[in-house]
Chain A
Amino acid sequence: MPRMKLLCSTALAVAVASAGCSLAQISVQVEPERASVVSGEPLVLDIWITNRSGTDFLLQRHNGWMKREIVYPDGSVRAWSPPPAPGDSGYFGMGIPAGERRHLSVVSPETAMLVTPGEYRMIVDSPQLHLSVPIRFSVLPYDRATLESYAEHVLANPKPEEVENNITVIEVLTALRGEVGEPYLCRALRQDSTMIFHAADRLEELGDRGSVNCLIELRQLYSARDERNVVDSVLRRIDAKTRDLVLHSEIREALRR
């Protein structure tokens, strides 16, 4: 691949966690954005990668680039597996030029599923970065008002024009417990139509009246053909799956307009 060369030598590329080692060629800091999350909220990892190798580095962010295991308060361990990528699929890279430092936000949707309050650990593992680091975090009892307040905070992100930041916002909102996250996700998609590509799967997965109403509204708002096509294909797939006859006829009617 041009421009970005992979660092292949495990002897040279040493990753370190928060209290890093300054001699490392590629040094990595991993920290939770918040030390505690409310049940239903995803943990966001702030990752800083510094490339001191003298060679440009390309992090390939494929489906399994970061492995994660959660250690529960009772000591049991569960590994997170990314969803499979069938048919035609792809992933992006992240280039870190020699001598530079890059920040990356990683949303861990599996932590939003944790329902038991307590102290947890997450083992973050990345063979590419030669990283294996434990992260401690707490899960607080479910509190809808706190989750909604968090969603408001996320949605009012301070960098509206930066794509990478906006994708993280959408990833957080799609990971939030459905009944909480859905209206905020819809608001985000009203504000920025280009984010529909990152939210379509979630709206299909929810497949309820809220997501259908959202999609029908977005369909009227969106002018770009690619964005409307995504909305239409999600509506068609929900239509094919739903047993709700009223929803079924509303989708059909919307698609005829």
Chain B
Amino acid sequence: MVDADGNDVPVTVQSGATNTSIAATINTTNAALGAADVTVTSNEQESDPMSVSIVCAVPTAFAQASFYCASSTGVLSFTYAWASSTGNLADLATCQVGEVVSYPNGGVPSSPPFPNYTFNTPAIFGAATSGFFSDSHSPPSGSFVKPYSDNSFTATQNYKYECGCAGGDYNVLQTYSIVRQVVNPSATWMYQITKAGQSCGFALPQ
């Protein structure tokens, strides 16, 4: 079997081969996708070819697993899990999963009432074989600035994946709005963050 560049695909033969059977691991990480024939040659005799199908595993079933509101700090956290299209996370060795968040106004919310703060566009990616990502959304650092007024700052978050075996394109798994607000719902000014229907926040110094 040869890979996409025409090089031999690495094969590890397990011990215990006999005249009639052999067990081997074929590393298809860089192999061309599609059907491939495998033959075994021994003592100048070649076996009949056995056809195998090489597929590109991609992340699938990306879903929120839990959320948590730290009410004292206003940090809203979520965990996400996903699977491999082959059913085996280890097959996602060529893939990254991650998030890209984009903010309006260069990442600078209105101040007042928000603190004087700039959100740096995070693009966090990691090995997709992990199958688990925890995401936290903190309030802008610093003191909220008076006079308070109703105000909101909405970021767009895309969870994405890319797989080397699929050409390296970035595919969207989920899209969310992350809404950070200063609100006054019941005569108390609050910082509030909302994402995926979950909210978290704290009372601002009055």
Contacts and interface: CB of A to CB of B under 8 A. Distances in A.
Interface of A: 1-4, 58, 60-62, 85-95, 159-164, 167, 193-194, 197-198, 200, 224-226, 229-230, 233, 237
6 contacts: A1-B65, A88-B138, A164-B129, A197-B96, A226-B100, A233-B120
Contacts of B102: 229
Contact of B131 (A93, A164, A198): A93
Contacts of B99: 88, 90
A86 B139 CA distance: 8
Contacts of A193: 168
Interface residues of B, number: 50
4 interchain residue pairs of minimum CB distance: A93-B132, A92-B126, A90-B135, A164-B127
Contacts of B94: 161-163
Majority-rule SS of B interface residues: strand
Given A95-B131, A95-B132, A88 B125 contact: no
Contact of A4 (B63, B131, B157): B131
A3 B120 contact: no
Given A60-B134, A163-B127, A194-B125, 8 more contacts: A58-B132, A85-B136, A85-B138, A88-B99, A89-B138, A92-B132, A197-B98, A226-B100
A61 B168 CA distance: 25
A164 B130 CA distance: 10
B190 to A, nearest CB: 19
Majority-rule SS of A interface residues: mixed
A1 B66 contact: yes
B122 A89 contact: yes
Nearest to B66: A1
A134 B32 CA distance: 45
A70 B102 CA distance: 38
A203 to B, nearest CB: 13
B175 to A, nearest CB: 14
A152 B140 CA distance: 41
Contacts of A3: 81, 83, 131
B105 to A, nearest CB: 13
